[in-house]
């Protein structure tokens, strides 16, 4: 009986191609839309999260002036000096590393190739604070830092562009007018959410950069790595008090420097991605609902149209249960077919969009299962329950149905 | 005298509820013997179709008793009535009621599917039924490719394919011209005579009723009178 009913159901599907295609289409669109949106949403938040973790945690960056991009007309606030760095290191507790950042840009030249790089003059503490390790070579010796030797540690992008086939460590690299011995190669950081490619950096002792590149004793930024066991806010306060004192700011005046906390930035970005995920999930739920209503419509229309068919089947001696089983098999077959096509389309869409959107490719079994399950359920419920109503009519009423 | 195949006693049928209620049958008594060819006549609205639907187990009486082969049909549930239709009854409608986009052969096979017949047997029985109505050459046509008369013959083939005891036809020629109508009547007469099927038929036309052995006249929801032996040549099969 079951077998006969299944052949009956499949025959009906084949006989009503348009109706079947429309039903399947509703499910295909519902499943494909939901799975694609949720997967891309998750991929986006994962990519944002990995960029955030690329910032390092619990790092303070101190810069002259108030905020980024402001300033303009007024008096330029005085730059920091290395004494400020030493004062912070000496007087502030709870910092694991304090390092100056003296920044410059220059062109690195090797053989015939040249490549524009950013230079960061600092100390070994910088790498410790950033938790940035080396692939090969070594960091600066205290003597090199003290003397301002022409030594450098290069980032991965420089290795890729200037040393495609060999190890930079031990070679001499010309950066601007300076011949520089490469003593280390930094580990790949990957792209960072803020401030471009971190891997296109050459790190040198700060004295070298001051002497050979910037030509003054200024320090652009001070990096402070906060011990994770300490609260960041009180440390920021004490640094603020210390710097106000050192910069002779009277009580009535505002700070002429700012302290940025990467933890604050990453928290803000983190809550933004949580919101993004929530929005995407909501949109997905709506599209599932819309898809569901589409399926429901076509099913309701077809059942109205099929009430006469149900009447005929009952009149020639079918038992209500047999008619219902046939409708159920039809609904399950269509829903399963539509669901599978939808999942395949979603897979293709996620795969195809990952590269242009610069997102990681993901396939999440959970959302695939949920979308498939819900669409199939909608298809089955809306195929089955109206049919049950029709099958409960007197055959003669079902036949009279217009 | 033998027991009647079908016996209605005091059957009433009311449609609707309350003030909108309509008493379509007001206490119908009738007996039909096995092998008879019965025509049901009467003015429009007199309850002919209502009675046929009850006899065909497509609808249930409001009150009264309906005995079929000695079984009280009014005491059966939906599924038991379905099984009764499946086993003993064939129905032909004025509007044919064939499944669209389905070949004549598949339409005729349908009752056999629900009877659980094997594919080969289904095919053979359906072809035999189509042969009886003269449509073997049209077995692979769908209803939209057949004329009205041909569609009705497919419907008759479907009604008789499972060798029912009773064939019920509600205005089977209502949608057909007179030549086609006479062909259908000859077909029904032949089935009654050669296969011994009891035929119950509603018709408005006296010309069609002439083919029957018994004529039951309805009026206002009641049986007005019954004529028997219209055609001397037509014996109780
Ligand atoms: N489903 C229904 N709901 C309400 N009233 C109905 C229904 N079916 C029939 N009736 C009413 O019952 C009465 C008898 O109807 P029935 O169809 O039995 O008449 P009939 O003798 O077959 O008429 P006709 O020759 O026009 O086919 C009619 O007045 C009709 O309006
Ligand atoms: Mg009628």
Tell me: ipTM over 0.90. yes
Give the single-character DSSP code of B3. P
CA distances (Å), A9 to each of A2, A261, A322, in order? 10, 65, 11
- The pLDDT value given to residue A117: 93
Asked if pLDDT for residue A362 goes beyond 90, the answer is no
Is residue A375 helix, strand or coil?
helix
Question: Best residue in B53, B79, B82 to probe A by mutation, most A CBs within 10 Å?
Answer: B82
Q: Which residues contact A345 (CB under 8 A, 6 or more apart)?
A: A28, A31, A32, A36
pLDDT digits (tens, 9 = 90+) for B49-58: 999 999 999 9
User: Residues enclosing ligand 1, CB less than 6 A?
Assistant: B 15-16, 22, 24, 42, 44-50
Q: Where are the beta strands (DSSP E) in A246-328?
A: 257-261
The torsion of the CA quartet A58, A64, A68, A74, rounded to 10 degrees, works out to: 160
β-bridge partners, B92:
B169
- The pLDDT value given to residue B235: 52
| Placement of tokens 């009014």 in the chain | B74
Greatest Cα pair distance, chain B, in angstroms, is: 54
Q: How confident is the model at residue A197 (pLDDT cuts 50, 70, 90)?
A: confident
Q: In what order do the strands lie in the sheet with B89-92?
A: B89-92, B166-170, B198-202, B37-41, B214-219, B222-228
Nearest to A15 among B85, B102, B114 (CB): B102
Chain A residues in contact with B162 (beta carbon < 8 A): 317
Q: How confident is the model at residue B231 (pLDDT cuts 50, 70, 90)?
A: low
All domains of chain B in start order, with CATH: 6-228 (3.40.50.300)
> Token pair of A105, please?
């840009």
- The pLDDT value given to residue A53: 66
Domain ranges in chain A are 2-51+270-400, 78-255
Q: Which residues contact A230 (CB under 8 A, 6 or more apart)?
A: A93, A94
Q: How confident is the model at residue A67 (pLDDT cuts 50, 70, 90)?
A: low
What average pLDDT does the structure give for chain A?
A: 85
Is residue A55 helix, strand or coil?
coil
Ligand 1, residue B43: give the atom nearest the CA: 25
The pTM assigned to this predicted structure is 0.70
CA dist A170 and B223 (Å) reads: 118
pLDDT digits (tens, 9 = 90+) for A242-255: 999 999 888 888 88
CA dist B114 and B128 (Å) reads: 18
> Considering only CA atoms, which of B167, B116, B133 is closest in space to residue B5?
B167
> Hey, are the CB atoms on B111 and A396 less than 8 Å from each other?
no
Is residue A398 helix, strand or coil?
helix
> Hey, are the CB atoms on A1 and B116 less than 8 Å from each other?
yes
DSSP string for A177-220: TEEEEEEEEEPP----SSSS-TTSEEEEEHHHHIIIII-S--B-
């Amino acid at each position: 009986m079951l077998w006969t009913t299944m052949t009956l159901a499949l025959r009906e599907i084949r006989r009503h191609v348009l109706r079947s295609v429309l039903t399947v289409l509703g499910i295909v669109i519902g499943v494909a839309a939901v799975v694609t949106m949720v997967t891309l949403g998750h991929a986006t938040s994962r990519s944002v999260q990995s960029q955030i973790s690329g910032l390092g945690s619990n790092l303070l960056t101190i810069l002259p002036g108030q905020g980024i991009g402001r300033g303009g007309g007024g008096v330029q606030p005085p730059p920091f000096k290395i004494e400020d760095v030493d004062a912070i290191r000496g007087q502030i507790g709870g910092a694991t590393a304090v390092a100056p950042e003296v920044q410059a840009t220059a062109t690195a030249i090797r053989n015939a190739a040249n490549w524009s790089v950013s230079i960061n003059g600092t100390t070994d503490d910088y790498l410790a604070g950033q938790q940035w390790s080396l692939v090969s070579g070594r960091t600066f010796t205290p003597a090199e830092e003290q003397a301002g030797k022409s030594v450098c540690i290069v980032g991965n992008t420089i290795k890729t562009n200037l040393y495609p086939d060999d190890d930079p460590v031990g070679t001499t690299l010309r950066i601007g007018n300076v011949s520089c011995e490469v003593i280390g190669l930094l580990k790949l950081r990957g792209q960072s959410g803020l401030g471009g490619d971190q891997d296109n950096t050459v790190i040198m002792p700060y004295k070298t950069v001051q002497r050979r590149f910037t030509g003054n004793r200024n320090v652009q930024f001070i990096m402070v790595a906060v011990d994770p066991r300490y609260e960041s806010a009180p440390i920021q306060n004490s640094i603020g008090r210390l710097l106000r004192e050192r910069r002779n700011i009277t009580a009535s005046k505002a700070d002429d420097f700012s302290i940025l906390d990467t933890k604050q930035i990453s928290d803000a970005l983190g809550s933004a991605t949580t919101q993004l995920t929530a929005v995407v999930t909501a949109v997905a739920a709506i599209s599932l609902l819309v898809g569901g209503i589409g399926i429901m419509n076509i099913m309701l229309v077809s059942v109205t149209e099929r009430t006469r068919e149900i009447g005929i089947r009952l009149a020639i001696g079918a038992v209500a249960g047999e008619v219902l089983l046939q409708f159920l098999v039809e609904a399950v077959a269509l829903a399963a077919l539509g669901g599978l096509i939808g999942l395949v389309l979603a897979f293709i869409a996620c795969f195809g969009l990952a590269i242009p959107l610069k997102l990681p490719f993901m396939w999440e079994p959970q959302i695939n299962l949920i979308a498939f399950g819900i669409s199939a359920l909608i298809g089955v419920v809306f195929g089955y329950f109206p049919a049950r109503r029709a099958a409960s009519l007197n055959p003669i009423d079902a036949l009279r149905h217009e | 005298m033998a027991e009647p195949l079908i016996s209605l006693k005091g059957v009433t049928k009311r449609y609707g509820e309350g003030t909108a209620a309509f008493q379509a049958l007001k206490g119908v008594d009738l007996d039909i013997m096995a092998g008879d060819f019965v025509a049901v006549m009467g003015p429009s609205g007199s309850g002919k179709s209502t009675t046929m639907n009850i006899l065909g187990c497509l609808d249930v009486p409001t009150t009264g008793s309906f005995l079929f082969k000695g079984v009280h049909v009014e005491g059966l549930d939906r599924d038991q009535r379905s099984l009764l239709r499946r086993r003993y009854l064939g129905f032909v409608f004025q509007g044919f009621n064939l499944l669209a986009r389905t070949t004549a052969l598949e339409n005729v096979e349908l009752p056999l599917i629900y009877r659980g017949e094997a594919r080969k047997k289904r095919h053979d029985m359906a072809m035999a039924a189509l042969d009886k109505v003269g449509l073997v050459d049209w077995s692979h046509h769908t209803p939209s490719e057949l004329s009205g008369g041909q569609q009705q013959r497919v419907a008759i083939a479907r009604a008789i394919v499972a060798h029912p005891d009773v064939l019920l036809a509600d205005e089977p020629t209502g949608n057909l011209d007179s030549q086609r109508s006479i062909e259908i009547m000859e077909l029904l007469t032949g089935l009654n005579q050669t296969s011994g099927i009891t035929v119950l038929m509603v018709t408005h036309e006296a010309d069609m009723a002439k083919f029957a052995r018994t004529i039951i006249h309805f009026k206002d929801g009641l049986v007005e009178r019954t004529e028997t032996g219209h055609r001397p040549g037509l014996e109780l099969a």
